[in-house]
Structure 1
Amino acid sequence: MSKQAGRVTTVLLVLAAAAFLVFAWWVGNMTHSARLAAAEFMDNLAAEKTAGLSGSLVELAENLQEFGMPLYSVGKVRLTWDLKARAEIILEQGGRKAGFALSLERRGNRWQPKDAPPSQVSVTAGQNQPLLALTVGDAALTKPLEPMGHDKLLTLLEEDKRAEWLHLGWQDLAEYFTVFFQGKEVAPVVGMDALNLYGREGRVAAAVLTQEYVPDVIRVNINTTGFGGIHHAQVEIACSGRWQVVEAVTGRSLDLEPGSVTLRAQGDFLLMGTETFQHRLIFTPLEAQGKLRLPSVIRAQGVPSYPGTIEVANMGGNLVIVNEVPLEEYLCYVLPGEMPESFGPQALAVQAVVARTYALGNLYASQWRATSAHVVDSVLSQVYNNSGTTAAARAAVESTRGQYLARDGKPALVRYFSTSSGYTASYHEVWGEGTGGNEAFPGTPKPWLMSKAQFPGGEEYSEENYADFIHNPPPGCYDEASPWFRWHFTVPADQLQEIIADNLKSVFVVNEKTVERQNADGKFETVEEIPDDPVGQLLELIPARRGEGGVLMWVDIVGSNGTWRVKREYYIRHVLRPQGSAQRPITLVRHDGSTLNNYSLLPSAHVIWETQGDEALEKVTFYGGGFGHGVGMSQYGVRELARQGWSLEEILAHYFPGTQLTALD
């Protein structure tokens, strides 16, 4: 190698070394500044300075604040080829460390945090008690929650994240509130009374069941006289023996002499005579077989007496009553309101199993948890204590004690009704899926609640022959002894169009998604309001869609002012109800020849109609079969099958195929 070449090589090596040193200095400087930026970001989160953050960084900030800022440090920092950086953030809680990668990017001449892995705060079961858990990507930290004592859940407001407890009263719930039993999550149910509570900064974050929840007690909201609603202006409670009242939270108690007391709301308080209470009151008879009466509530039996305890709470200035009663005792007071004693012991036993199954499903769903109950005492659940109880009802409940129908290890969804047309209806063709504006109709099929023939031979439903089926039902239909097996009525067209116009509006108010109007393109779409005269002159009624068994799912109403479509069995029954006036009564004739004027609802949606009129519609005659929604078990059908000697198991398998007869532990 020449001296000149050697000098060139030396120069190049020096330049390369210098470049490397410059690059190393630059990398070190960039890494150091990225580390400082990451540390500053974490310092700001610790000081709750979160202005200007977005996306995953906001989520991280909120979750770190919710968890409580752990110790933190910045670990390794790496630059990426696209001049971005990833800083390892090391979190430490209770001696345990976990790390996640914070992404940074250059903005101008400064590093700024860009994003972080997904993060959340939750609770986990833990070995001895629930733990508050923070996860950031794959990193996870936990710390103990604060014990809040042993309690009973009375009321649950899930949307408001609040709950009422027997001893703690009203408390806020953490967003991640969870109930555990033996390390597994379980759904909270009002009435659970073996709960250890754990909190975070004054909110209840977790509850642990100390023993398995057994649904052997049910909580019932009591309606006013006439079943006008569950909010009472005042409540009178009476007892013929010694009794006691205890105030929740404070535990303050008063022993009461035989007689009655009257309760009223005053602001947020309860008044009982000269006594003032801040929390709900719980009334209990002190003598064996003692019962409480509600003179302020009138039922078919007169003044009802209630087993169990009665609670009265002030909810928004109205009084709400809860009767907490053993499940089996509750059923003794349900059966007389749901099935006549004359149907016989076997039919009553079947009804007891189905009523118990229905009650258990409602109990776990706790639809009335916002008013401290599982069910109400009206047809919105099952009619309870309208006419007291009977020896026959008690015998039916006792003979089936604890038995219910299960599906997939849980109480099966069951439905029952009075009378079938000769076919039951499929659940998904009567009810939708979801609630409110998100409801989808038809719903999801339930294999054990599908349409089924209710006569020997069980011919499949035929839409082409449906009119003949209604006019000439096959022999041996299980429901033919019911007065509602067949019925008919005639309505003048001008009166029917008035009925439809009025009822379209009322149905729309309840569920606007069930009423649609045909547009200029011939398509049906929902509307924002119903005009004053939606129908005009009634021109035609069209059974636009039927489900299996013939139940109406859609009916189209064609008028001079437009064409309307009403969806779902109940709303169709409401829109076409034969409710005339005193001056123009509509007479409904039943299967047994009996008549009823101005009936408040179309008896069932298993219905056809025939029209009269040459140039214009003059009158419409409706012919139908059955009474009720038509899904599940027909009570008149049960009576006949029991009369024919079918066993309890055979009858239940007929109406609810694919369910299992099970007993409560």
Structure 2
Amino acid sequence: MKKFITTVVFLVAILLTIVCFPRTKEHAVVVTSNDNYSEIYVSEKLYKVKFDKKYPVGTVINYNYNFFKAFNVKVLSPIEERVMKTNNGIYDLELSGELKADDSITFYYLDKNNNIYPLSKKKILIGKENIKTYLNKKNNIKTFIITPYDLSSMRVGISTTGFNSLKHSEIDLTCLEEVNLYNLKENYKKTIPKNTKIKISALNDKIEFNIDNQIKVFSSRTYLKGNNIKIDNITRGIPKFTPSYSGTLEFTNDKNSLYMINEVDMEEYLFKVVPSEMPSSGGLESLKCQAIAARTYALSDMLQNRFAHLGFYVDDSTQSQVYNNMETNELASRAVLDTKGLIMTSNNEPIDAKYYSSSAGVATAYEDVWFNADWSSENKNYYYKGSYVDDKSLPNNENEWLSFYKNKDLKAIDSESPYFRWYAHFSKNALENSLKKSLKIIHERRPNFIEILQNNAKINDIPELGNIKDIKVLKRSEFGNIMEISFLFTNITVNVKGDYNIRSAIRCNKDFSGEIIPIIRHKKEPLINSNFLPSSFFAIEKDSEGFTIYGGGYGHGVGMTQNGAMEMSKKGSSYEEILGTFYKDVKIEKIY
């Protein structure tokens, strides 16, 4: 009996320990709270808990609990700073600097109706003031609370002259109006007078400002805010001009190179994108199309966090869309203002609004241009695919495509474009010279998109090339663009796939071919010393002297053809009609 009582006491003690022993929940996020209980998320799992008081939705807490109650509730204080960059689990906060993410980091969205829920996409938008950051006991980021964000501003990476690099060795500028120089981390602010010249240099890991021969050195991100800040050592455009920027210019030092980011209102950004991407000769409606497409494209890139590791949404080159490469003009600015806040959406999301200069009379599919090395691709069905030629039938074989690209008399949506038809003739020697250099570059930069065969067996490196014997199209989309091409030499065969790779394999530049290969356009003067073919919409004709490339269009062939939009505008089409020609099943919606 004594042994039984001892056992019962022991079991009761264990039970009381289990029931009463305090345990801890960390980074619980309040979903609802009333007099009876609170709903909370812990690592995205939903629980009901009885607290002694109500807590506002979105409060982040640590607490102890046992079988009977929750107690020792501690409300955590957030870091309310912008995240300026993010890369591989490291988040660079504007004041706190780089912080590491916890292995079980969670993201929650608190919407405008005060509802909170976990985010399926583990992303935050850099540079936005809509984030609360919560750290765990190791000072790693454990929780992000994200609130609705403002979409009306852009962050643009500014390149050197010729868009050659985003890294600057130094930056010379003139403040055409009074501006503010400030550094938040170092609590520094100074007003810079009008017409002041500033030289900015990378100094080891610091940033040196030489302001009228007065030196100020910063150890962290530094800003200039104002209008008409002219960058004296950057040249843009034809005719050439020195660009100026408004909004905020942000400077950081990365491995002894300067990055310069322009944070600017979206519409101000478009004032300098639209004229850089489309001439005004097409009229107001085509410029409205360009404004809507450019705004949509910019927003799509913003939401994709494409350049989050560098701290901006888009760059200022053709990698995104060209910014500040032409002077602003009244008609383009009017088109931007007339369409303020308008974007194209599909399934309530901004589309990836691709556009390009001119077509060859056909539009191709997204997946026929942007695909992975294994041919996989995203499915984007909101682009028009098919013929723009009056006769909608398309060629079925290589001979028919060759005849198609030779035909200058076809009538299409943008057949008035100089690039509607073009050709370039290469001697065997010039083509061999070009390929010797270009194929090695492709192999170095995108090895998965190039295959080297010797005696029908794959090899890893490109040897010294023999004589060119032939060029064969291995894969062409049903809409005419080449997806994979084969160069047959006497000693090896090299297969190249991908739109840009194919276009940059056959270079007309004298530095590659040893001679200038003019690209003869069917209207206007030849294109001289081009670094790549205008498009991958082409066919090859071989003769005893070499090869002639007959092609059409300029650009990738997906989405809006700008020349086509301009021609439709001249004929009286509205921007809604024009956009509806190039993008299918999309809505035009106002986001602000």
Which TM-score bucket, shorter chain as reference? 0.7 to 0.9
Alignment correspondent of 1:531: 463
Select which of 355, 373, 377 maps to 2:312: 373
3-state SS of 2:359 partner: coil
CA deviation vs aligned residue, 1:337-366 (integer Å, no higher than 9, x gap): 100111211111111110011000111112
Which residue does 1:114 correspond to in 2? none
- 1:193 is the counterpart of 2:129: yes
Residue 311 of structure 1 corresponds to 250
Give 1:265 shift.
2.1
Cα drift, residue 415 of structure 1: 0.9
Which one-letter code corresponds to 2:535 in the other structure? S
Matched letter for residue 553 of structure 2: G
> Matched residue of 1:370: which SS?
coil
Per-residue deviation, 1:396:
0.6
Paired residues in the alignment total 538
Distance 1:326 1:428 in 2: 33
Q: How does 1:142-541 map to 2 (within 5 A)?
A: 146-157=76-87, 159=88, 161-182=89-110, 183-186=116-119, 187-200=123-136, 201-209=138-146, 211-258=147-194, 259-273=196-210, 274-285=215-226, 290-300=227-237, 301-433=240-372, 439-449=373-383, 451-456=385-390, 458-463=392-397, 465-472=400-407, 475-518=410-453, 520=455, 522=456, 525=458, 527-533=459-465, 536-541=466-471
User: How far 1:91 sits from its partner (Å)?
Assistant: 8.1
**Contact residue 62 and residue 76 of structure 2 kept, 8 A:** no
User: Deviations for 1:68-118, whole angstroms, at most 9, x for unmatched residues?
Assistant: xxxxx9879xxxxxxxxxxx999842599xxxxxxxxxxxxxxxxxxxxxx
Deviations 1:521-566 (A, max 9, x none): x57x5x4322232xx1211111111002110011111121122211
Which residue type is aligned with residue 184 of structure 1? Answer: Y
> Is this contact kept in 1: 2:44–2:118, CA < 8 A?
no
Q: CA deviation at 1:295?
A: 1.6
Q: CA RMSD in A?
A: 3.1
CA distance in 2, matches of 1:379, 1:75: 69
**Secondary structure in 2 matching 1:232:** coil
The runs of 5 or more residues in structure 2 that have no matched partner are 27-41, 48-56, 65-70, 111-115
Aligned to 2:561: 634
1:594 alignment partner, one of 525, 532, 539: 525
**1:444 Cα offset (Å):** 3.4
Q: Distance in 1 between matches of 2:405 and 2:322?
A: 31
Q: State the alpha-carbon separation in 2 of the partners of residues 409 and 142 from structure 1.
A: 44
| Alpha-carbon distance in structure 2 between the residues aligned to 1:596 and 1:142 | 75
593 and 394 in structure 1: CA distance in 2 versus 1, 3 angstrom threshold: closer
Aligned in 2, Cα 1:232/1:89: closer, same or farther, shift over 3 Å?
farther
> Residue 495 and residue 311 in structure 1: after superposition, are their counterparts in 2 closer, same or farther (change >3 A)?
same
- Read off the aligned partner of 1:260 and give its amino acid letter: K
Distance 1:169 1:515, change over 3 A: same
Alignment correspondent of 1:64: none
1:367 Cα offset (Å): 1.5
- 1:133 is displaced (CA, Å) by 11
Q: Deviations over 1:198-244 (max 9, x none)?
A: 111212222323x4112111001111122121111122232133221
Task: Please state how far the C-alpha of 1:142 moved relative to its aligned partner.
Answer: 13
Q: Is the 8 A contact 1:131 1:144 kept in 2?
A: yes
Matches within 5 A, 1:93-108: 93-94=23-24
SS of match in other structure, 1:458? coil
8 A contact 2:508–2:533 mirrored in 1: yes
* Partner of residue 552, structure 2: 625
Matched letter for residue 495 of structure 1: A
**What letter matches 2:520 in structure 1?**
V
CA contact (8 A) 1:573 1:602 kept: yes
Question: Residues 402 and 508 of structure 1: is their aligned pair in 2 closer, same or farther, counting only changes over 3 Å?
Answer: same
* AA at the equivalent of 1:202: N
Over 3 Å counting, the alpha-carbon distance change for 1:580 and 1:296 in structure 2 is: closer
8 Å contact 2:174–2:231 — kept in the other structure? Answer: yes
Corresponding residue for residue 44 of structure 1 = none
Aligned-partner Cα distance in 2 for 1:304–1:473: 39
Shift of residue 329, structure 1, vs aligned partner:
0.9
> What does the per-residue CA deviation read over 1:226-267, in whole Å, with 9 as the maximum and x for residues that have no partner?
212111112223213322111122332122222022222223
Secondary structure at 1:356 match in 2 = helix
- Please, which moves more after superposition, 326-335 or 446-455? 446-455
Q: Deviations over 1:138-159 (max 9, x none)?
A: xxx99867424321121112x1
Q: Distance in 2 between matches of 1:528 and 1:132?
A: 56
Structure 1, unaligned stretches of length 5 or more?
A: 1-20, 36-72, 77-87, 97-120, 135-140, 434-438
What does residue 509 of structure 2 align with? Answer: 579
Does the 8 Å contact 2:287/2:332 carry over to 1? yes
**Structure 2 CA distance for aligned equivalents of residues 414 and 507 of structure 1:** 27
Match for residue 495 of structure 2? 565
Seen in structure 2, the aligned counterparts of structure 1 residues 266 and 640 have a Cα distance that, compared at 3 Å, is same
CA distance in 2, matches of 1:152, 1:255: 24
- Letter of the 1:153 partner, please give it: V
* C-alpha distance after superposition, 1:377-405 (max 9, x if no partner): 11111111122311111111011111111
The amino acid across from 2:223 in the alignment is I
Q: Give the Cα–Cα distance (whole angstroms) in 1 for the partners of residues 90 and 46 of structure 2.
A: 21
Q: For residues 178 and 456 of structure 1, what CA distance do their matches in structure 2 show?
A: 55
CA distance in 2, matches of 1:576, 1:633: 26
Distance 1:580 1:443, change over 3 A: same
AA aligned to 1:363 is M
- Alpha carbons 2:361, 2:414 under 8 Å: kept: yes
Q: Percent identity?
A: 25
Q: Contact between 1:406 and 1:660, CA under 8 Å: does it hold in 2?
A: yes
Q: Is the 8 A contact 2:82 2:129 kept in 1?
A: yes
In structure 1, distance between residues paired with 2:475 and 2:421 = 21
Structure 1 residue 305: deviation in Å? 1.1
Counterpart amino acid of 1:276? V
- In 2, the alpha carbon distance for the partners of 1:74 and 1:246 equals 62
In the alignment, the residues of structure 2 paired with residue 163 and residue 493 of structure 1 have an alpha-carbon distance, to the nearest angstrom, of: 53
Distance 1:319 1:562, change over 3 A: same
State the Cα distance separating 1:457 from its structure 2 match: 5.1
In the alignment, is the contact (CA less than 8 A) between 1:542 and 1:556 conserved in 2?
yes
Work out whether residues 433 and 514 of structure 2, in 8 Å CA contact, stay in contact via their aligned partners in 1. no
Give the TM-score, by structure 2 length.
Answer: 0.84
Equivalent residue of 2:503, what SS? helix
